[in-house]
Amino acid sequence: MKVLVPVKRVIDFNVAVRVKTDGSGVELANVKMSINPFDEIAVEEALRLKEKGTVTEVVAVSIGPAQASETLRTAMAMGADRGILIRHDGELEPLAVAKILKSVVEEEKPGLVIMGKQAIDDDCNQTGQMLAALLNWPQGTFASKLEIGDGHIQVTREVDGGLQTIDLDMPAIITTDLRLNEPRYASLPNIMKARKKPIAEKTAPECGVDVSPRLKILGVSEPSKRRTGTRVANAGELVTKLREAGVF
């Protein structure tokens, strides 16, 4: 069985994000970019399934500018077998990404798509659900454990009240939560090997998808600054301060 893993190139999670002065978006020039952390978890899970013998091939796909090939190389240095780059410069909404992924799924015919529950740049948490709807495939979102049976997959999901386990027919869409696994580091030899792994390239129009935006961003602003805290000596002083501040 083949697993397709969509991986997005996003601002590195360690970078302090700055909003552009005109409020039209966030500053991307000269900013360190990395693979979306939830997608790294998705790659790791696909690799563990391959190591167990359930999966034969792990294919990473990224939609973005030429530099998104670096994101594919990261996935391949972890162990993905090959990459697909769908070239697009500029913003893409989750619906456009889902439509492109649908065309890749129809071509590649994977038994599973494992992807991040959300991209940490736009925090949309929409693409997996939209892809499942477009393909009419079952979905297991926010997965913290996967177990593959014969033509089925059991997905343990992190829900508000605890854990929910569902059983899906395959092919299916899985989106990863933080506790699914701890991704491996790519070793130097594997980073070198990844340079030789193939990346096929296409554009969004070649996938037959119109990516023109349907949403308009009205403005992007910095979060309000946190007020500085003060240290109190004991609980009594804390209660007094909270009363003075009108908390209760």
Contacts with ligand AMP, residue ranges (CB under 6 A): 6-8, 36, 38-39, 62-64, 92, 94, 97, 115-116, 118-119, 122, 124-128
**In this complex, which beta carbon is closest to ligand AMP, that of residue 149 or of residue 213?**
213
- Least distance to ligand AMP, CB of residue 106, Å: 16
- Extract the tokens encoding 97: 């990404």
- Least distance to ligand AMP, CB of residue 110, Å: 14
Instruction: Tell me the three state secondary structure of residue 231.
Output: coil
Instruction: Tell me the three state secondary structure of residue 95.
Output: helix
**In this complex, which beta carbon is closest to ligand AMP, that of residue 36 or of residue 156?**
36
**In this complex, which beta carbon is closest to ligand AMP, that of residue 178 or of residue 238?**
178
**In this complex, which beta carbon is closest to ligand AMP, that of residue 54 or of residue 118?**
118
Give the residue nearest to ligand AMP (CB): 116
Closest CA to 15 of 32, 30, 27: 32
- Extract the tokens encoding 154: 């059991």
* C-alpha dist (Å) from residue 246 to 130, 234, 238, 239, 242: 46, 19, 12, 11, 6
- Least distance to ligand AMP, CB of residue 247, Å: 35
In angstroms, the CA 84 to CA 97 distance is 14
Going through 161-226 in order, the beta strands assigned E by DSSP cover 162-169, 172-176, 199-203
Handedness of CA 183, 187, 190, 192 (dihedral sign): positive
**In this complex, which beta carbon is closest to ligand AMP, that of residue 111 or of residue 177?**
177
- Least distance to ligand AMP, CB of residue 101, Å: 7
- Least distance to ligand AMP, CB of residue 230, Å: 37
Closest CA to 116 of 8, 2, 3: 8
The answer to whether the beta carbons of residues 138 and 172 sit under 8 Å apart is yes
**In this complex, which beta carbon is closest to ligand AMP, that of residue 189 or of residue 198?**
198
- Least distance to ligand AMP, CB of residue 133, Å: 13
**In this complex, which beta carbon is closest to ligand AMP, that of residue 92 or of residue 168?**
92
- Least distance to ligand AMP, CB of residue 18, Å: 20
The answer to whether the beta carbons of residues 50 and 78 sit under 8 Å apart is no
